[in-house]
A and B are shown apart, each in its own frame.
Chain A
Amino acid sequence: GEDVEQSLFLSVREGDSSVINCTYTDSSSTYLYWYKQEPGAGLQLLTYIFSNMDMKQDQRLTVLLNKKDKHLSLRIADTQTGDSAIYFCAESIRLDGTSGTYKYIFGTGTRLKVLA
Chain B
Amino acid sequence: NAGVTQTPKFRVLKTGQSMTLLCAQDMNHEYMYWYRQDPGMGLRLIHYSVGEGTTAKGEVPDGYNVSRLKKQNFLLGLESAAPSQTSVYFCASSYSFGFEQYFGPGTRLTVT
Contact = CB atoms under 8 A, between A and B. Distances in A.
Contacts of A41: 105-106
Interface string A74-102: 00000000000000100010100000111
Nearest to A109: B42
Interface residues of B, number: 20
Q: Is the interface of B mostly helix, strand, loop or mixed?
A: loop
Contacts of B97: 92, 94, 100-102
Nearest to A5: B42
A102 B100 contact: no
Nearest to A95: B97
12 contacts: A31-B98, A31-B99, A42-B103, A42-B106, A43-B101, A45-B102, A88-B43, A100-B96, A100-B97, A108-B40, A108-B41, A108-B42
